[in-house]
Structure 1
Amino acid sequence: MRDQTDELTQELYELAASAAPGNGIDVARAVREGRVRLRRRRFTALGTVAAVAAATAAVSLLPTSSDRALRPAPAATQASAFPALDPDPLVAEASYGWLPADFNDVSYVLVNGRADVRVDGKVPDGGVLGPIVWLKVYPAGTTPSTGQPWYAGGPRQYRVEAPQVGGRPAYWVGTSPTTASAGGGDWYLRWQTADGRWAELHASSLQGADAQQILHRIAEGVVVARRAIPLPYRINTVPAGLRLGSVDFLEGPRMLPGEHVPWSARITFQVDGMYFTTIIEPDRPDSAKPPADANSKIIQTKPICIRAHGLKLCTYSLYGVDAYRTVGGPKAWLKHFKLLGTEQQNWTTRVLR
């Protein structure tokens, strides 16, 4: 079992992937989602976690001269295939059926070896955050529990009975025996699927008197069936010793104001405690990007990028070039990618070869 430090590091990289693809940092969203996701890991310093999450989202941070080596440089290894990795790295156990009209962008994020499915709702006029719904299916034989605290030292969770979903048992996770809401616009609805597993919808920032009815109707439309998610790239053989950190495919603009791409795909690997991230997104002229924020306190290094087939492929790491020693450097790493263009019918689920 991984120690808590390693688990927190991995969760923060997954949080970075889910909160702000590309080079932007959606700090507000990272703080909100970090609070919900990480408090269940029994970490109490939520402000510290949010700050670290924001820093981790900026995976292109340049270490200062006093930080020269965050990790010792790993020794080079011979190239080999992915013997321990599934060729299909992003496989969802379920998908949405019915969704409200203002929920359009469906994304997939690998979390602890499981691809959770996220859908984003429209940001209300004058608002900062729109509603988000996460869908996950628990592994066979795993029964989610209630009764434990929401976070260390916090109020306990309660099972609040809900109408059946598909004719099978369902319940809300609430803050009292009669309060179905998790508080703050958060809702958790769990139900047993036809194959006996448990599924869960977690809604964030879902407001209004009909929030329960909306979430219950979404649950009624969920289709539980494994499906590999096609991605716009393929990776050839890489040096042994790499461990898959996270994979995601996100739809819709989720960057700082002015940053808009229709989708973004990200894959992160870990080697010797260091992570490096590669992002694929539709190419666009540099003039289409917003100007850099002159007041930003974040020191960023320019990522290494290539362009082909209407796509832009970039890689960068919080740990600098040392993270790429095993793969021969950032430019050598990008040569392992084959870009498949912008048309989704040409994408593949067999990503790791």
Structure 2
Amino acid sequence: MRTHEQRDLTTRLSFLAETPAPPAVLDPSAVIARGQARLRRRRHALVGVVAGSTAAVLAGVLLLRPSGGVPAPAAPAPPASSSPTAAPTAANGPLSTEVRFGWLPSWLAGPSSVGYANTDGRSVATASTRTAVLNAVPDLKLELLRDTEQTLAPGLHTVAAPKVSGRDALWLVTDESGSTTGLRWMTESGRWAQLRATLWLNAKVQDDLLRVAADARFGSSDVPFPVKPTGVPADLRLRTAEVHRPTRDSEPPWSAMLSYTVGDKWLSVTVQPDGFGRFVDGRPNGGTPQCRVEKGVQLCANGTAAGIPSVQAVGGLTGLLKQFDVPGADEASWPR
């Protein structure tokens, strides 16, 4: 028996929606150190053991390609660098996005996949490939910033970049090393969009980012999702919805999470195909998870809100999991 890839959705959520991507430099030891630190954080999420290869999660957001036989998702990255990414189609589900990739560069093709997250209305799309360079997984993070201010994460400054679609653009540069880590540009709506890259290989990547930015698509649309809430208690506020794909063949072809809050308490429902271990939110004090398997899909729920009256009224965590329709593990079955 070998331990399944250990992942922590909470860490990925924080990386996707609340903090900037790490600075990208060409120092192999620094890249490896970042990957090892993320792996240690992710080791709290897995509570089951399955037969599968042990694989270290390296740097970057894990939005990975489906393994063999899984149909292409509704919003995949292109199979070749010259093909645009299909826009998500209306799913009437819990996840919507304001950002989508169009063109993606060759270093994210063969294969690459696109995942989405939305936290409190902040949309993020990430494209990643399982091809490792300097022990890290190259990926791009695209987001539409909430306001028009040019706020920056500590340790970054901006320098002028070529205009994107005729509008102002800025390179994001690290204060310490002077390495370019991303691109920020003004969109037609008057809000800033931002691209961050985990690796910078050469000057060609700058040209690639300018082209990715020019072809990025903005506008609200639903993302097909593996479950649909039907009777979740009204006082549970949906704060985060995300769907990911893995970077290695030992990973499930996809995973997803819905995170709810009520007051200072939280409750998460994690979803993935059955047979890849017990996958739960790894935040502290989450309590004992309860799981359900239907149509080849495993749903697990845990969190500090498990004991609130409204959750107990539907039968606790076990009853809560019955409040989700499950179309199936095949992404082609998801509402679209």
TM-score interval, normalised by the smaller of the two chains: 0.5 to 0.7
Residue number among 310, 313, 330 corresponding to 2:296 in the alignment: 310
Residue number among 82, 93, 96 corresponding to 2:98 in the alignment: 93
Matching of residue 322 in structure 1 with residue 294 in structure 2: no
Q: What's the CA shift string for 1:255-304, capped at 9, x where partnerless? A: xxx851111111111224222211221223xxx659xxxxxxx9997642
Matching of residue 136 in structure 1 with residue 127 in structure 2: no
Which aligned pairs between 1:183-262 and structure 2 lie closer than 5 A? 187-253=181-247, 259-262=250-253
Secondary structure of the structure 2 residue equivalent to 1:169: strand
For residues 19 and 294 of structure 2, the distance between their equivalents in structure 1, rounded to whole angstroms, comes to 36
Secondary structure of the structure 1 residue equivalent to 2:19: helix
- Give the share of equivalent positions with the same residue, in percent: 27
| Conserved 8 A contact 1:133-1:202 | yes
Matching of residue 112 in structure 1 with residue 112 in structure 2: no
**Pair 1:39–1:168, CA change in 2 (3 A):** closer
Unaligned runs of 5+ in 1: 1-21, 41-46, 62-86, 182-186, 291-297
For residues 196 and 96 of structure 2, the distance between their equivalents in structure 1, rounded to whole angstroms, comes to 19
Cα shift at 1:237: 1.9
For residues 279 and 340 of structure 1, the distance between their equivalents in structure 2, rounded to whole angstroms, comes to 15
Secondary structure of the structure 1 residue equivalent to 2:126: strand
Number of equivalenced pairs? 264
Query: TM-score, normalising length from structure 2?
Result: 0.65
Q: What's the CA shift string for 1:205-245, capped at 9, x where partnerless? A: 34334332222221122122321111121111222321213
| Conserved 8 A contact 1:340-1:346 | yes
Letter in 1 for 2:210: H
Secondary structure of the structure 2 residue equivalent to 1:115: strand
For residues 193 and 20 of structure 2, the distance between their equivalents in structure 1, rounded to whole angstroms, comes to 20
| Conserved 8 A contact 1:265-1:280 | yes
Residue number among 126, 129, 142 corresponding to 1:121 in the alignment: 129
For residues 58 and 120 of structure 1, the distance between their equivalents in structure 2, rounded to whole angstroms, comes to 21
Residue number among 265, 275, 279 corresponding to 1:274 in the alignment: 265
**Pair 1:316–1:205, CA change in 2 (3 A):** farther
Secondary structure of the structure 2 residue equivalent to 1:275: strand
For residues 138 and 324 of structure 2, the distance between their equivalents in structure 1, rounded to whole angstroms, comes to 34
Which aligned pairs between 1:142-181 and structure 2 lie closer than 5 A? 142-146=147-151, 150-151=153-154, 155=155, 157-175=156-174, 179=178, 181=180
Residue number among 20, 31, 37 corresponding to 2:19 in the alignment: 37
Secondary structure of the structure 2 residue equivalent to 1:215: helix
Secondary structure of the structure 1 residue equivalent to 2:251: coil
| Conserved 8 A contact 1:60-1:303 | no
For residues 330 and 216 of structure 1, the distance between their equivalents in structure 2, rounded to whole angstroms, comes to 47
**Pair 1:107–1:209, CA change in 2 (3 A):** same
Secondary structure of the structure 1 residue equivalent to 2:307: helix
Cα shift at 1:311: 1.6
Query: TM-score, normalising length from structure 1?
Result: 0.62
Q: Which of the pair is proportionally richer in helix?
A: 1
| Conserved 8 A contact 1:189-1:202 | yes
Secondary structure of the structure 1 residue equivalent to 2:41: helix
| Conserved 8 A contact 1:252-1:263 | yes
For residues 201 and 42 of structure 2, the distance between their equivalents in structure 1, rounded to whole angstroms, comes to 29
For residues 197 and 217 of structure 1, the distance between their equivalents in structure 2, rounded to whole angstroms, comes to 19
Secondary structure of the structure 2 residue equivalent to 1:281: strand
Q: What's the CA shift string for 1:25-51, capped at 9, x where partnerless? A: 369x869949x91799xxxxxx9xx89
Unaligned runs of 5+ in 2: 23-33, 49-91, 279-283
**RMSD, matched Cα:** 4.1
For residues 59 and 329 of structure 1, the distance between their equivalents in structure 2, rounded to whole angstroms, comes to 22
Cα shift at 1:60: 6.7
1:68 matched residue in structure 2: none
| Conserved 8 A contact 2:195-2:209 | yes
For residues 278 and 26 of structure 1, the distance between their equivalents in structure 2, rounded to whole angstroms, comes to 13
For residues 302 and 247 of structure 2, the distance between their equivalents in structure 1, rounded to whole angstroms, comes to 20
Secondary structure of the structure 2 residue equivalent to 1:207: coil
| Conserved 8 A contact 1:172-1:180 | no
Secondary structure of the structure 2 residue equivalent to 1:211: helix
Letter in 2 for 1:339: V
The structure having more radius of gyration, on CA atoms, is 1
| Conserved 8 A contact 1:253-1:261 | no
1:24 matched residue in structure 2: 6
